[in-house]
Amino acid sequence: MLFESETFLEGIDQHRKIRNVFVNISSNTRLYNV
């Protein structure tokens, strides 16, 4: 499984970016709702 570590880290980085996008969207809608 060591040879998959690079793609594994890439997947974590991509997941973090996607999560940040969702967090930004939710915080923006929260501001709009208030």
Q: Is the pLDDT of residue 2 over 60?
A: no
Entry pTM = 0.52
Q: How confident is the model at residue 11 (pLDDT cuts 50, 70, 90)?
A: confident
Q: How confident is the model at residue 15 (pLDDT cuts 50, 70, 90)?
A: confident
Sequence-ordered list of residues with C-beta below 8 angstroms from that of 32, at least 6 positions apart, any chain: none
